[in-house]
Amino acid sequence: MLKAWILDFAYFLNTSKKYQTFKTFFYNILENEKYKYKKYLDLFMMALIFTSVAVLIREVKYPVNDYLRFFSNYVISIIFLIEYLLRLWVNSSVTKIIIARAEHDTFLFRDVNLQKAFRNVAKVKLSYILSPQAIIDLLAIMPFFHELRLLRIFIIFRVFKIFRYAKSFQILFSVLATKKFEFLTLGIFASIIIFISSVLIYVMEANRNDSPINTLFEAFYWSIVTISTVGYGDITPTSNEGRFVAIIVIGTGVAVLAFTTSLFVSAFTEKLDEIIEAKTIENISKLKKVYLICGYERVASEVAKKLFLKEYSIIVLDADIQKVNQAKQDGFTALNYDPGIVASYKKLDIDITKQVKAILCLNENDVENVYTTLTIRSLHKEVFILSLLMNDSNRKKLEFAGIDKLVYPQELIGLITKELVGKPVAFEVIHELRSEDSEVSIDELGITQRIVDNFPTIGSLVNKEYRVVLLGVYKTDKDRFYFNPLDSTLLEVGDYLLVIGYHVFIKEFEKYLYTKVKNA
């Protein structure tokens, strides 16, 4: 009966949406570095840590307010205890372990062995309890028993909890962990040298009346100070034999210090790219609206520069490290990720539907653009995708893959050439618009409800007063562009005006539209 009740309760918790949401929230706020509210908890906990340490330092020589002492000894300890229990809870799922055991035994036509399930639970929880971070968390709670005066010293362990909340420390330890074997070897070597030099200096100096080294502890202290090249000078050997030992230890200390420095430099050099990449991804996750450019070649470079001038955020993905480096030299955020595989977008860790304005597949290779589009569509159905088309025979393949808009450069070149052949002035205008140094630009202005309320038709716009030429209007609901529309054409929310003129005049015209709306 009890077994059935435990299994039913385990299944209930495992399928309870409220329970899982509740547990996920605490997991995110305690353990998930990408959760946006976690940083506030970290700052709060660090403030508590420094408060308790400040109280400890204060009461060494001065009286402390009873309320402040109560806050440090009881309130902070209780908060740390709650945090410890919550971490123990979210570290693993008891219900999943029980359910896994039940399903395993049922599949083999056996009675459900809850004892094995509970042993697995105890093993998992104990492994967490014995982890270094959990031990520090537990010791930080000990000042709760402040009547045992010796336990007050455990307040200092609260300082070590900062390592849990400060991401820089976590990065430091993860970098050094890559060289743990080398550091272990160095530590063993230094320990042997310290032990041998301590014994030698004690044997040679302890029986001399003028020697400050009279105990093995003093010899050990001298060895530590000497091999670390600190050299306080408070304890120095007086015999020639002792000084010879000091020379050997000093030389060894310099070697150990040099080796330690080289290990630090080597560890950070090897992990530097990963650290930079992690920081880049963290910065990307904070962006609101970005253009994701897949592939960085000639066309992509020009498009990225134009978008950058309009102050749009740009992320470049390319599997070729040389192209990524070129994008970085051009001043763009670029990652050496293959845009044709799912793992790239998972590592990127952004919400494509909310953060990405459009994805531009600008590889000058139709096959790569097809793979990129298929990959993106397997993850997100709604995001807008624009792609280059290099060979017209691949048009159907790209459209089938899910491209929203295709740009076929040869077709555009053909149309322009056909229309402008024999018209040198027209060609000069096109060249002027294309030039990076030109102050003339083409821009699009989105129509909002407030603009419609004040400017219902094309004729009500005063663009000519601002020396801005209206090329046409794009009707979103009809998915059609109207060139040189009639003055009676109605403006609707979601429409776009395509205008041409000097950049400063376009900005003044846009400012007038919104100023007019605000003053209305």
pLDDT at res. 445: 83
pLDDT at res. 339: 87
pLDDT at res. 160: 64
- Stretches where the chain sits below pLDDT 50 are 146-151, 412-421, 518-520
Q: How far apart are CA 7 and CA 118, in angstroms?
A: 12
Q: Where are the alpha helices (DSSP H) in 59-107?
A: 66-70, 76-90, 94-107
Q: How far apart are CA 227 and CA 190, in angstroms?
A: 8
Q: Determine how many CB atoms are found less than 10 A away from the CB of residue 289.
A: 11
- Sign of torsion over alpha carbons 473, 356, 399, 493: negative
Q: The pTM is what?
A: 0.53
Q: What is the pLDDT of residues 3-54, one digit of tens each?
A: 788 888 888 888 888 888 889 999 888 888 777 788 888 888 888 878 887 8
pLDDT at res. 500: 82
pLDDT at res. 438: 58
Determine the distance from the C-alpha atom of residue 325 to the mean position of all C-alpha atoms in its chain, rounded to a whole number.
21
Domains of the chain with CATH codes: 2-165 (no CATH), 180-275 (1.10.287.70), 288-407 (3.40.50.720), 439-519 (3.30.70.1450)
Long-range Cβ contact pairs of 337-344 (< 8 A, separation 24 or more): 339/294, 339/295, 339/363, 339/368, 339/372, 339/375, 340/368, 340/371, 340/372, 340/375, 341/375, 342/375, 342/378, 342/379, 344/317
pLDDT at res. 413: 46
Q: How far apart are CA 261 and CA 268, in angstroms?
A: 11
Q: Which residues contact 500 (CB under 8 A, 6 or more apart)?
A: 433, 440, 441, 442, 443, 468, 469, 471
Q: Determine how many CB atoms are found less than 10 A away from the CB of residue 228.
A: 13
What's the number of CA atoms in the CB half-sphere (13 Å) around residue 245?
24
Both tokens of 406, joined, read 């295709």
pLDDT at res. 519: 45
Which is it for strands 356-361 and 333-335: parallel, antiparallel or unpaired? unpaired
Q: For 357, phi and psi rounded to 5 degrees?
A: -75, -40
Q: How far apart are CA 108 and CA 99, in angstroms?
A: 14
The secondary element (H helix, E strand) that includes residue 350 is none
Q: What's the residue count for the chain?
A: 520
Q: Are 494 and 476 in contact, with CB atoms under 8 Å apart? A: yes
Q: How far apart are CA 254 and CA 317, in angstroms?
A: 46
Q: How far apart are CA 184 and CA 142, in angstroms?
A: 31
pLDDT at res. 418: 45
